[in-house]
Amino acid sequence: MPGRIPQGSVCPAPVGGVDLVPTFFHFAGIDLPWPMHGHNLSPLLAEPTADWPHPMLMTATGRKYGSDTDVIPTGKDAYHGGAPWYVMLREGRYKYVRPLIPNDLEELYDLREDPDELNNLAVKPEHAQRLNQFRAAAIAQLRKNNAGFVDRMTPPVRAGP
């Protein structure tokens, strides 16, 4: 879209695949046929460094979608491709991962300082406040998106002192 979208710009805001459909509909001038979880990215496409108030939420629920995810499976059914069902929230420089299976460790990473995700801040007491903020933000986003499983998640697991 020459002339409408700046070329050679980098957008630092995290966005997700669910944002593509609302964006395509916007550019096509079509109203969304039903409520969607994503956001129209055209403000970021016009101004890549604009403030973006939307965290990026991703749910990994195998090949289950919508109301089929209301109940979190157990055992081998809680895995897809070797990975358990999980929720990931990305906001700013941080990434939070909450497994949806019992006894699996939460993860929190500072992607600016640790892009390879080798230093799990969720296990460090000095990051407990940030971890709690991300837990709450993930739950708030799940509720906002009417995730049926949000009140059925097992308690979060945090290792360390």
**For the domain that residue 70 is a member of, what is the CATH number?**
3.30.1120.10
124, 71: one domain: yes
- 71 lies in some domain: yes
94, 144: one domain: yes
Please give the model's pTM, rounded to 2 decimal places: 0.87
Q: What pLDDT, in 10s, does the model give residues 87-116?
A: 999 999 999 999 999 888 999 999 999 999
Q: What pLDDT, in 10s, does the model give residues 38-55?
A: 999 999 999 999 999 999
Number of independent structural domains in the chain: 2
DSSP string, 95-159: EEEEESSTTPBPEEEETTT-TT--S-GGG-GGGHHHHHHHHHHHHHHHHHTT-TTGGGPPPPB--
Domain extent for 16: 11-54
- 161 lies in some domain: no
